[in-house]
Amino acid sequence: MTRHTTSRRPAIALAALLGLATAINAEVGVTDGPKGVVVNRRNGKAYAAFPDLGIVKIVNGVAGPVVTLKTGANIKNLTMDPRSGRVYAMNRGPGTISVIDPDTDAIIDTLKADRGSLTALNPVTNKLYVSASTGTDPSVIDLATKSSTTIHAGTEGNALSVNVKANKIYFVGYEDNFLTVVDGVTNEPARIEVPGFHQWDSAFNETNGLLYLPTPNNNAITVIDTRMGVVSMVGTGSVPMAAAVNEVTNRLYVVNYASSDVTVIDGASNRTIATVQVGLWPQQLAINAETNMIYVVNTHANNVSVIDGRTNTVAATVPADKGPWAVAVNPVSNVIYVANRLSDKVTVIDGRTNRAVQR
């Protein structure tokens, strides 16, 4: 069963994040939010968002064609339908969602999403969930009818996850001290109190029903058993920003922005296994469960740390372009795609050799 997770960074500059730190912090199967890159495993195409340029680049491997699409201003979030291969690009500026066809590489439809911020899909129910900008409720779009319904969740949802099996949607707001659980049938919300504030990402493990929220103010990861409503916390490095689960090994990886390292946690015991030093100010990660390799984008080092999941050591450091900020893995071809925020380049890494080209 598939599950989709995405997140929205608060509107805080990197310098402000450092101030916060001194004061105190795939696509299908893993989180890589803000989801600036998604991969279609069937045709090998990767889609990378460039928010400041308002474009999506479609890249096919290290040598295939590259297509550039103009979508809309401040596009930070991409969601892929694993059944059809369609990509939904959330354009926060105009409040629209561009629908990209996987065969023609063209925008075939534009959906209205006023004040929209993030998207996540339940491919079984064919419903697209849209979190909102600050102070407004999220919504759900029925893709069959294109009708939109407001969900009175009491939160805008800075992080958004879909539990496909249970048909539950998890929203957490940046200033919330609670998790909002929405029933996918009735759209009715319920709340679970959490101990921290300023959650801005989430990773969901559908195998065991655990939801993980990086909690930067507490330098911890908040662990929620969604089946039992039990909440606990595990310490991390400084300013945890993102998390991803390898469901094959049942290990959780947490990116710590201010301490420039990754916390490795055993999913069965919630105990820390290792702390792996990476490059300066890492922001995101993606996991290739087939090879047990973890790819961490180091935004201010302009490179990618490749962590070997067997040894919890950095196996390679791969140069990227300016400001790498989002990453996704194609486990079929063992190719890794990195969107570079401060350029118009996609770094394409051959997972076998760790060699990269800029496309």
Residues 345, 359: Cα–Cα separation, whole Å: 5
Average pLDDT over residues 250-268: 96
Domain boundaries, the chain: 4-270
Per-residue pLDDT at 91: 94
Tokens representing 190 are 């319920």
pTM of the model: 0.89
What is the full DSSP assignment across 177-235? Answer: SEEEEEETTT--EEEEE-S-S-----EEETTTTEEEEEEGGGTEEEEEETTTTEEEEEE
Identify whether the C-beta of residue 11 lies closer than 8 Å to the C-beta of residue 302. Answer: no
Taken in order 264, 265, 266, 267, the sign of the CA dihedral is: negative
CATH fold group of domain 4-270: Methylamine Dehydrogenase; Chain H (2.130.10)
What is the tens place of the pLDDT at every residue in 305-354? 999 999 999 999 999 999 999 999 999 999 999 999 999 999 999 999 99
Average pLDDT over residues 30-35: 42
Per-residue pLDDT at 33: 36
Local confidence band at 115 (pLDDT 50, 70, 90 cut-offs): confident
What is the tens place of the pLDDT at every residue in 145-187? 999 999 998 888 888 999 999 999 999 888 888 999 999 999 9
- The candidate with the shortest Cα–Cα distance to 225, out of 166, 275, 175, is 166
22 or 157, greater pLDDT: 157
What is the full DSSP assignment across 232-272? Answer: EEEE-SSSEEEEEEETTTTEEEEEETTTTEEEEEETTTTEE
Q: What is the mean pLDDT of the chain?
A: 88
Local confidence band at 6 (pLDDT 50, 70, 90 cut-offs): low
Average pLDDT over residues 241-258: 95
Contacts of 266 (CB under 8 A, 6+ apart): 250, 251, 252, 272, 273
Residues 53, 70: Cα–Cα separation, whole Å: 8
134 or 35, greater pLDDT: 35
Local confidence band at 15 (pLDDT 50, 70, 90 cut-offs): very low
Per-residue pLDDT at 29: 27
